[in-house]
Structure 1
Amino acid sequence: MYALSVKDISVTYDKQLALENVSFAVPEGSITGIIGPNGAGKSTLIKSILQLLPTLSGNVEVFHKPIKSQKKIIGYVPQRSEVDWDFPTNALDVVLMGRYNHIGLFKRANKKEVTWAKTCLEKVGMQDYATRQISQLSGGQQQRVFLARAMAQDAKVYFMDEPFAGVDASTEKAIIQLMKEWKAEGKTVLVVHHDLQTVNDYFDHVLLLNKSPIAYGETQTVFTLDNLEQAYGGKIAFLQKAPATVKEST
């Protein structure tokens, strides 16, 4: 069964073509990395799939149903740079936001919902910061809170936009552990990612993107030097012949 099916997505941004004819299907219970150079449309792809951006064309299905009817089973972790961290709320309330699809936007969370939110904070090591304002947390702590929010959604398909950007090693380890737990539970995870050296270790499948798909499939098949050269236009530093040692040049 495919958890996600994307067909012929095209998007314009500032009158420029940002994505062109992107199609791929993601198996249930897998972790997929979306990689490509800066400006390749990776974040745009996730937002267009989630209907946060308008599309020129295309169709998206989640478990063979239109995505608009499947919002309750979708979780989303945005880039940290897109979050207003000065918004006056604490960590527990942020996590409870992940329950709005279940309890309703204007209803007060009951004791059961609050207990679940606290459990999610505990799973990411943030139980002692439940009443702390999010503006007072470090970057890694903020990311953990958003992971807890995603966990609170109890989704079947998760989208994560550069979750490892600017976090410490312990937070990165916590993110990887959570992704593996979701996979073990049969859930599906898509991750926008930029660190090429960890691709082989983190992902079952890879979508290599540069406005149009360069290649998609199992990581060991897609993550090759030839495909990377094609995607990055030669802007790759080849340290060795193994893809795991390839990194994007600055």
Structure 2
Amino acid sequence: MNALEVSNLTVSYDKKPVLEKVAFTVPEGSITGIIGPNGAGKSTLIKSILRLLPTISGDVQVLGKPYAKQKKVIGYVPQRSEVDWDFPTNALDVVLMGRYRHIGMFKRAGKKEIAWARTCLQKVGMLEYADRQISQLSGGQQQRVFLARALAQNAKVYFMDEPFSGVDAATEKAIIKLMKEWKEEGKTVVVVHHDLQTVEDYFDHVLLLNKQPIQFGETQTVFTLENLEKTYGGKIAFLQKAPTLEKESL
């Protein structure tokens, strides 16, 4: 079964199309990167898939069913810049928010839920900060708390919007370790990503996007200099591992 099927997805702001006829299929148990220049619509794509933004046309299927019927099996890690980090709550409460779809929005978390949330914090190295206000955490620590919240959701399909942006090396390692664990468990991860040098190490599949899909497929096939130049609209410096190409830094 495919984890995600997007067909003919079109989104516009103020009657101006920002995504046009996006279509791709993500196999279950894989890690997919969404790659493209600034303004290409990468975050817009994820938000429209999750129905956080309205669409003009298109269809989204998650594990063979419409998105509306699969909300409980979907996890989402937004960009850090979109979170109100001054909101008066601690790390444990943020993680417990990941259980609301299971326990109900207005029900109090029981001992079992709290124990699970603490386990998720421990898994990302943040248990000692469980009672710390989120505004008092560093950027990397805040991102780890949101990873723990995603873990608490116990989803089957995860969407992550620029999870590596502005984090320290240790947090980046923690994120990719978690992504690979999810994959080993048969779960699926879709990630908006900007660092071209890590694409081949992190992703099984890649969607190259610039307001419309340029290419989608297995990373080793699609992630080429030619396709990247089409995506970014011109020549770019690109670190290519293949020995036939000269290595350049971005």
Deviations 1:140-159 (A, max 9, x none): 00000000000000000000
Q: Is the 8 A contact 2:6 2:22 kept in 1?
A: yes
RMSD in angstroms over aligned alpha carbons? 1.5
* Counterpart Cα distance in 1 of 2:248 and 2:5: 29
Q: 2:226 matched to 1:203?
A: no
Letter in 2 for 1:26: V
- Shift of residue 238, structure 1, vs aligned partner: 3.9
TM-score normalized by the length of structure 1: 0.96
* Counterpart Cα distance in 2 of 1:239 and 1:174: 24
* Counterpart Cα distance in 1 of 2:68 and 2:249: 37
Distance 1:239 1:26, change over 3 A: closer
- Shift of residue 22, structure 1, vs aligned partner: 0.2
- Shift of residue 166, structure 1, vs aligned partner: 0.1
In the alignment, structure 2 segments of 5+ residues that lack a partner are none
Q: 2:217 matched to 1:228?
A: no
Distance 1:165 1:234, change over 3 A: same
Partner of 1:53: 53
Q: 2:184 matched to 1:184?
A: yes
Partner of 1:26: 26
Deviations 1:148-187 (A, max 9, x none): 0000000000000000000000000000000000000000
* Counterpart Cα distance in 1 of 2:150 and 2:168: 19
Partner of 1:105: 105
Letter in 1 for 2:223: F
* Counterpart Cα distance in 1 of 2:248 and 2:32: 19
- Shift of residue 245, structure 1, vs aligned partner: 5.5
* Counterpart Cα distance in 1 of 2:247 and 2:60: 34
TM-score normalized by the length of structure 2: 0.96
* Counterpart Cα distance in 2 of 1:244 and 1:102: 52
In the alignment, structure 1 segments of 5+ residues that lack a partner are none
Q: Is the 8 A contact 2:196 2:238 kept in 1?
A: no
Task: Give the length in aligned residue pairs.
Answer: 248
After TM superposition, the structure 1 = structure 2 runs for residues 35-114 of structure 1, keeping only pairs within 5 Å, are 35-114=35-114
Q: Which moved more, 1:229-238 or 1:147-156?
A: 229-238
Distance 1:245 1:211, change over 3 A: farther
Distance 1:50 1:35, change over 3 A: same
- Shift of residue 63, structure 1, vs aligned partner: 1.0
Partner of 2:137: 137
Letter in 1 for 2:180: K
Q: Counterpart of 2:128 in 1: which secondary structure? A: helix
- Shift of residue 239, structure 1, vs aligned partner: 5.4
Deviations 1:102-143 (A, max 9, x none): 000000000000000000000000000000000000000000
Letter in 2 for 1:7: S
Letter in 1 for 2:116: W
- Shift of residue 43, structure 1, vs aligned partner: 0.2
Partner of 1:175: 175
Q: Counterpart of 1:60 in 2: which secondary structure? A: strand
Q: 2:16 matched to 1:16?
A: yes
Letter in 2 for 1:85: W
Partner of 1:217: 217
Partner of 2:161: 161
